[in-house]
Structure 1
Amino acid sequence: MGFFVRWFVAFALLVSTYNPTQWNYTAWTQANWEIQTPLVVFIGLVLFVGYIIYLRATLRSIGTFGMGLVLAIFGSLTWVLYDWGVLNLENRDLNLWLGLVALSLVLGIGLSWSILRRQLSGQADIDDVAD
């Protein structure tokens, strides 16, 4: 259950920033920059903090290589589904949604990896602490 919450929050963070509909921060910012600049900046900073939390945790737990590996697995799954005729990748919006799902999975796995690793191996991750 914990993984799904972390994944859903990552998905919500990405989708609220940009998606193919008009309901996203990017489109709202373009329409409201002149009249609501302080609110645009505030919400942008809140989103930025969310990205920092997720990216820092992901980089610390699975690293750049792990991020690439998760994306490669999702990309190969997409390739298999396309090859079997399940997916048609000519729809731009579908491609964008698939990309958002892939990136949110990378962030969700990154935030959950230390917990999963501890449960599988019984070993806890410990941050380096300076004396």
Structure 2
Amino acid sequence: MFGFFLRWLFAFALLAVTFNPTRWNYTRWAMENYQSQLSVTVLAGLILFIGYIIYLRATLRSIGGLGMFLVAAVVGALIWVLIDWGILALGNRDQKVWLGLLALSVVLGIGLSWSFARRAMSGQFDVDETDE
């Protein structure tokens, strides 16, 4: 369980560092500083891009596009229920952005953790296919 939490936390951090409603994010920083710090902007962008490749590739391999859609649908339905019950109110844009980041990070966190969960439930390992 702690492993899932760490994988989700890193997914959330990756998304939040890239964009969030505060002024402390890569997107805003890059737009303001790319002319004076182009090399650092490119380096930071490439590091973020590598993080996305790792998460998206692992997620697509473990749960696939349909699995990503289903996890996103369940998270969306859960948010809908929380809004319906009055537990969650979407009053401003910033709150909606944070909620979207949370939802996307859950999809990526589950995708990266699915092989571990499947092995724990079934005892079977996931292995990559090779063309040898």
What interval of TM-score do these two structures reach, taking the shorter chain for normalisation?
Answer: over 0.9
1:125 Cα offset (Å): 1.0
Hey, what does 1:78 align to over in structure 2? Answer: 79
Question: What percentage of aligned pairs have identical amino acids?
Answer: 62
**Unpaired segments of 5 or more residues in structure 1?**
none
Hey, what does 1:19 align to over in structure 2? Answer: 20
Hey, what does 1:124 align to over in structure 2? Answer: 125
What's the CA shift string for 1:68-118, capped at 9, x where partnerless?
A: 111111110111011111111231111110100010011111011001100
Hey, what does 1:10 align to over in structure 2? Answer: 11
Q: Distance in 1 between matches of 2:49 and 2:128?
A: 24
RMSD between superposed Cα atoms in Å: 0.7
Hey, what does 1:48 align to over in structure 2? Answer: 49
Q: How many pairs were matched up?
A: 131
In structure 1, give the amino acid aligned to 2:50: V
Hey, what does 1:89 align to over in structure 2? Answer: 90
Q: Distance in 1 between matches of 2:49 and 2:65?
A: 20
Q: Distance in 2 between matches of 1:103 and 1:2?
A: 18
1:124 aligned counterpart, secondary structure: coil
TM-score under structure 1 length normalisation: 0.98
2:83 aligned counterpart, secondary structure: helix
Hey, what does 1:28 align to over in structure 2? Answer: 29
What's the CA shift string for 1:16-57, capped at 9, x where partnerless?
A: 000000000001011101100000000000000000000000
TM-score under structure 2 length normalisation: 0.97
Residue 112 in structure 1 maps to residue 113 in structure 2 = yes
Q: Distance in 2 between matches of 1:125 and 1:88?
A: 40
